[in-house]
Every structure is written in structure tokens, then in C-alpha cells.
Amino acid sequence: MPVLATPTVHLPEHVITQRETLDLAWRLHAGHPKIRLVTRMIEHAQVTKRHLIRPIEETLHHSGFEHRSTVFAAEAKKRVPPVVEQALAHADLAPRDIDAIVFISCTGFMMPSLTAWLINTMGFPSRTAQIPIAQLGCAAGGAAINRANDYCRAHPGSNALIICCEFCSLCYQPDDLDLGSLLSNGLFGDAVCAAVVRGDNNATGVLIDAQTSHVIPDTEEWISYAVKATGFHFRLNRGVPDTMRGFTPDITAFMRTQGRDITALDFYAVHTGGPRILEGLREHGGIPNDKLRHSWNALTDHGNVASVAVFDVLTRIAANPPGEGAVGMVAGFGPGVTMELALGRWTNGNIR
């Protein structure tokens, strides 16, 4: 049975605090009719700081979609390899042992995928399967785990490497005054992560027992990008904050098929989409708030780092791991509106 080994997460060196974000919002958009609403929403998000790949002065300047794409490729090639090396070390594997690479990003586009460059640069076998996922947004962290699990189950004894590279700051649009876009300016951060799913379960991490996907009908426009000449423009529907009301019945039903109770798991690695996501799991799912503390802390420390978020939470769980056999779930939510969820048990394996 495949096991998701302990992830590695990299946070870029440049930091912006909530106070600085609010000051910028007032300075740049003082005349916006909903500026007070926007700043209240940013304050409610409880994000004390976020990490950026560039200084704030460069981030605020839109240098063009072409230049931003060049920055994405250069920064990815600089930041991804050391994260991959550490993730491989966590799983006690070398590049030659990897059979598939699942590469995730919703904040930059390359073709061929960065996977081809990694195979040529880091010594992965030329036969390595490439599985890039670009359009699932924040749900893609959960999707990456599930697709890597699918691959390892379909190819017994194989190993899959997951890489998430999210530079949300490259999507900043200084002239976009849409409410969802302004809110995103105070919520999203940059991060890179990597993790290995070992097909032989010989690793410390989450032994994956079951998984599920779900799309809430007729919500495909709730979370989206408007693709324009200036790049990706984030769009958010007013129905999104109540998303958990739609998902929790399906999570509850899925848990029952596995003989589990959604309220009684030992750990929860939930995507840090914002306070309303976590509050909704408590209100509609009955999950104790203390069990969601790692997600709350990740949101406070780093903001919403898109597909990296669930791995950020998993690193916190791994820092003070639950006991052998402890049961937990990993869940990501994103455009569609989509949920990707994995259910598993903590294992200490036979390696670090």
C-alpha cells in the first residue's frame, strides 16, 4: 500500500506582513468604494505574514505577462531542485528510483513542463512518467496525492514524486479592482514543496487507504481565472465562503463507507483556503477546532499557498507525529468547485 512520505516545504526569503498589506491596500486603492470591506476581509483572514519570491517593490510592478513567465521559469529552476533533493532524502530514495513525477502549478505555465527539465537535469530516468496538473488550483495538492497514489497502485513497487510550485505573487494585477482580486492580494503567498509516494510503504508518513473526488454541481464559475493579456486574474464568487456546507455531506458519507466518523479522526491536513473553509468544517462537519490547529497555524504563518497548502500542514503534523496507526485525512478544495480527499493512517515506516 503506498505511503506519502514526509514533505519538504520551501518558503521564499521575502516577507510581507498583514500590516504592510493593509497599508498598501489603503495607499493604492484609497478611492475604491469597497476598500473598507476589502481591508476587513483581509484582517479576518488572520494571515500575519506571507512569503514572496521577489521584493515587494518588484512584485507590485507589472512587467508584462511575458516577463512574468520568464521569472516563473527561472525561479522554479532555482528553487525546485533543492526541495526535491530533501524530499527524496526523507523517502530514502535517489532520482533513479522515481518512476513518475506529478508537477503542480496554477500560477505559471511552461511547455514542456518543468518535469522534462528536471529529468534532464537531476538524473531521473528518461522513462519517468510526466503528470503535470495546471488547472485545479488549490485542490491540486490533494489531487497530486491521489494521482500519485493511483500511479503506484497501478504499477506495484513504483515511486512517484510530487512537486508543487506556486508563485502566487506573479498573478498580482495592480489595475484589477474586482473584489475577489483585491482580497487575493492579502491572502495568497508563494511556496514550493515536494513529497514522495513510495509504493512499498517503507517511509514515515501517511499510508493511503482510500481517496475520493467531488465537484459541487454548477459552481464552475465560483473560483476561476479570467485569462487576459496581462495574465491570470483571480475571480471569486460570493458563494465560495459557504463551500463547506456543500462538501461536508459528501465527506461524511465517504467516511462512513470506510467505517470512519468525520468528527473522530486523529489528524486533519486541510487546505488553508481561508478562515471560512476551516470554520465551515467545524460548523457543518463537526470537526473540533483544536484538530484543525495545524491548518489554522499554516494560514496565519504563510497565507494560502495554493496547492502547497496541504503539504505545509502535513509538515507540521510530522513535526509532532501522531502515533502509529493514527487515522487522518488530507483534503484540498479549489476551482470546479472541486474537492480531492485522501484517507490514511500514520506510519513510522523503517526509515527517517
What pLDDT, on the 0 to 100 scale, is given for residue 134? 92
Strands 223-228 and 267-270 come out as: unpaired
Longest dimension (CA), the chain: 60
**Per-residue model confidence as pLDDT tens digits over 136-184:** 999 999 999 999 999 999 999 999 999 999 999 999 999 999 988 998 9
In this predicted model, which residue has the larger pLDDT, 240 or 132? 132
- Averaged over 295-315, what is the pLDDT? 97
pLDDT at 249 over 60: yes
Given a contact cutoff of 8 angstroms between Cβ atoms, the answer to whether 263 and 288 are in contact is yes
Q: Where in the chain is the domain with CATH 3.40.47.10?
A: 3-198, 205-347
Looking at the DSSP bridge assignments, the partners of residue 223 are 236
- Averaged over 117-122, what is the pLDDT? 97
Strands 190-198 and 8-10 come out as: antiparallel
Is position 171 annotated as part of the catalytic site?
no
What pLDDT, on the 0 to 100 scale, is given for residue 100? 98
Spatial distance between the Cα atoms of 311 and 206, rounded to a whole number of angstroms:
12
The grid cell for 108 is 505559471
CATH architecture of 205-347: 3-Layer(aba) Sandwich (3.40)
Interhelix angle for 309-319 vs 293-302, to 10°? 120
pLDDT at 351 over 60: no
**164-178, 186-200, 212-226, 316-330: which has the minimum mean pLDDT?**
212-226
Domain spanning 3-198: CATH 3.40.30.10:
no
Residues 6+ apart with CB under 8 A from 94: 88, 123
**61-65, 99-103, 280-284, 330-334: which has the minimum mean pLDDT?**
280-284
Strands 100-104 and 129-133 come out as: parallel
What pLDDT, on the 0 to 100 scale, is given for residue 212? 97
Looking at the DSSP bridge assignments, the partners of residue 226 are 233
- The average confidence (pLDDT) of the chain is 94
What pLDDT, on the 0 to 100 scale, is given for residue 352? 40
**Per-residue model confidence as pLDDT tens digits over 54-71:** 999 999 999 999 999 999
- Averaged over 21-27, what is the pLDDT? 94
Give the amino acid at 176: D
pLDDT at 233 over 80: yes
Could you say which DSSP state residue 151 is in? H
- Averaged over 197-222, what is the pLDDT? 93
Considering the entire predicted model, what is its pTM?
A: 0.96
Could you say which DSSP state residue 321 is in? P
Residues 6+ apart with CB under 8 A from 58: none
In this predicted model, which residue has the larger pLDDT, 317 or 351? 317
CA angle 248, 249, 254 (to 5 degrees): 95
Residue in 106, 138, 152, 171 annotated catalytic: 138
Given a contact cutoff of 8 angstroms between Cβ atoms, the answer to whether 45 and 274 are in contact is yes
Q: Work out the percent of the chain whose per-residue pLDDT is above 70.
A: 99
What pLDDT, on the 0 to 100 scale, is given for residue 350? 55
What pLDDT, on the 0 to 100 scale, is given for residue 276? 86
pLDDT at 221 over 50: yes
